[in-house]
A and B are shown apart, each in its own frame.
Chain A
C-alpha cells in the first residue's frame, strides 16, 4: 500500500517537473482555464443568489395586482372598481397603488416614485433610496427638486434615506405622500396606477383572479406567483447574454482541449518512448499524463470557484457591472446572501475537469503503447 502511494507520488513529481519545464505555456493555460471557470462560477453564484433573494423578499409582495389596459397599454385604473372587487368572496382588502417613474435629466437617472403614507412622510418630504442618495449626492435634510407636468420645479426635503441593506428593493425609490404625488403628476382624480388585492385563502388566488378578469374585461390581474416566476428566469441560462458568455467560454475551452488533443509534439512522443525504454509501463506513462491534466484542471477549478465566490459576495459582482448596467445611471450595489448549490458545482466540475483530463490522456495513449524496443532503434 505504501509502495503504491509512493509510486503515485513519484509519478506526480515527474508530472509536475514536466509541467514546470514548459512554464510559460502552462501558466497561460492555467490562467485562461481559471478565467473561464471564474466567469461561469460567478454567473452561477450571482443568479442563484438573486433568485433566492427575490423568492424570499418578494414574499411580501401583494397577492394580486389588478392593472387596467387601454388600447393594449397600461392605463390608470378607476378606483371605483375597488368596491366591486372587494365584494368578491375571499378578498380581504383592496387598496389603490400610486406609483410611477421619474426621469431626472440632470443625471440621466430613472427613479421610481411611490406614494405611501407608511412612515408618515411630512408634506413635501421624501424618503429616498440609498441609490438615489448616492447618485444625486443627497443626505437627510437636503433638497431634492422635481419637475411637475408643467415643468415647474417642486422642492422636496429628504426626510429619510432607506438603509443600504435595502438596495436591492429600494435603491431607486422615492417615497412621498399621496397628495404630493397626485399634484406632481397631475394624476387624474378617481384613478390609481393599479389596485392591490389581499386574499384570505392563498389557494383561491387563481379563482379570484379569473373572476376579476371576467367582471372587468379591461383589466389584467397579475398573481404573485407570476411575479416570482419572472425572477426565476432572471439571467435565464437559456437566454441571451448568458448564452453568449457561456458559448464563448466553452468554445475557448474546446480550443484548448483540441490543441492538447491533436498535438503531441515530437519531443513529447520521444520522451514517452524514452520512459518506456527505461522501464516505465504503459500504465505509468498514462498515469503521468493524467496527473499533468489533473494538476492544471484541479488548480484552475478550485482557484476559479474561490475567486468567483469572493467576486460575487465580497465585491458585489463588480465585474458584471458593465454588462448589466447598460444605459442605466443608477446601479444597485449587490449585497447578496451567499448561496452554494453543490449540484451545480459538481456539474461544473465534471464539465471542465473531465474533458480536460481526457484531452490530455487520449493523445498520449497511442504514444504510450509503443513498444519499448522502438526506442532502441530510434
Chain B
C-alpha cells in the first residue's frame, strides 16, 4: 500500500471524526435544550445568580455578587485567591451609590 494512500486515508478518517463531532454538537444542542430549560427554571425559582464553578472561597462562589476588589474581601492583606482569581475578572459595575 502506498504511503500516500495510507496518509490520505488517515486524514479522511480524521476529517470524518471531526465531521461526526460537528454533527454530535448539533444533535446535543437539541437534547441539551431540555436540560438547559430545567436549569433555567431552577435558577428562576431559587433566584440564583451564579454558576457553581469555584467553591474554594466564599467570594469566588458568587463572582457576580462580589465586591470589585476581591482581595479586600476579608482584610486588605488578603491575597488574590488562586486559581479562580486569575481566571475570573472582577465584575464590572457601572454604578455605585453617588
Contact = CB atoms under 8 A, between A and B. Distances in A.
A173 B52 contact: yes
B64 interface: yes
A57 B87 contact: no
A166 B4 contact: no
B50 A306 contact: no
A91 B88 CA distance: 31
Contacts of B18: 302, 305-306
A144 interface: no
Interface in A53-100: 53-54, 56-62, 65, 67, 69, 72-74, 95, 97
B95 A210 contact: yes
A235 interface: yes
A128 to B, nearest CB: 13
Interface string B50-61: 111111111001
A306 B21 contact: yes
Interface in B56-98: 56-58, 61-65, 67, 73, 81-89, 91-98
Interface string B26-61: 001100100110111111111111111111111001
Contacts of B3: 12-13, 16-17, 20
B36 A172 contact: no
A183 interface: no
Contacts of B83: 240-241, 323-324, 326
Contacts of B92: 226, 229-230
A169 B87 contact: no
Contacts of B45: 116, 118-119
A230 B28 contact: no
| Chain A contact patch, size range | 35 or more
A240 B86 CA distance: 4
- Give the one of B43, B50, B64 with max A CB within 10 A: B64
- Give the one of B2, B42, B81 with max A CB within 10 A: B42
Given A16-B3, A67-B65, A306-B17, A60 B36 contact: no
Given A110-B56, A230-B63, A299 B11 contact: yes
A230 B29 contact: no
Contacts of A251: none
Contacts of A328: 54-56
Nearest to B2: A13
Interface stretch (A255-263, A275-283, A331-339, A367-375): A331-339
A60 B93 contact: no
21 contacts: A12-B4, A16-B3, A101-B58, A101-B61, A112-B52, A166-B39, A196-B47, A213-B95, A222-B64, A226-B64, A226-B92, A229-B92, A236-B87, A236-B89, A302-B15, A306-B18, A325-B56, A326-B82, A329-B55, A337-B28, A339-B25
Interface of A: 9-10, 12-13, 16-17, 20, 50, 53-54, 56-62, 65, 67, 69, 72-74, 95, 97, 101, 109-110, 112, 114, 116, 118-119, 129, 131, 162-163, 165-173, 175, 194, 196, 209-210, 213-214, 216-223, 226-227, 229-231, 233-236, 239-242, 295, 298-299, 302-303, 305-306, 309-310, 313, 323-332, 335, 337-340
